[in-house]
Amino acid sequence: MPSYVLVFKGGSVPESEEEQKSVMAAWGAWFGGLGPAVVDGGNPFGASATIAGDGTVSDGAASALTGYAILSADSLAAATEMSKTCPILADGAGSIEIYETFAVM
């Protein structure tokens, strides 16, 4: 069964401990509902850097990605459907890009 990388963009950092618990509970419920389809629950991203084709390095990344997860699904459409209830989409400020991965190594 193919694997799909979900890369998250946007979302917000909870400001209070209560809000953090609520957000983590929502993510836990979402992952729990996906069951064995979760290959890797991923993590949020921190600091980043970009290396240009000429070797120039700059701080930050233009994509502004904020995290990832990896799911196993029958198809891109199935992975997309599973992703529609992800908590990062709840406030309308986040988005998800979904990519099929290929085992070549």
- pLDDT tens-place string over residues 72-98: 999 999 999 999 999 999 888 899 999
Per-residue pLDDT tens digits for 6-31? 999 998 778 899 999 999 999 999 99
Domains of the chain: 3-100 (3.30.70.1060)
- Between CA 73 and CA 90 the distance in angstroms is 22
DSSP classification of residue 14: -
Please tell me the pTM assigned to this model: 0.89
Place of tokens 């196993």: 72
- Between CA 10 and CA 30 the distance in angstroms is 18
Strands, E assignment, 10-87: 38-40, 49-51, 57-59, 65-72
For residue 89, what are the β-bridge partners? Answer: none
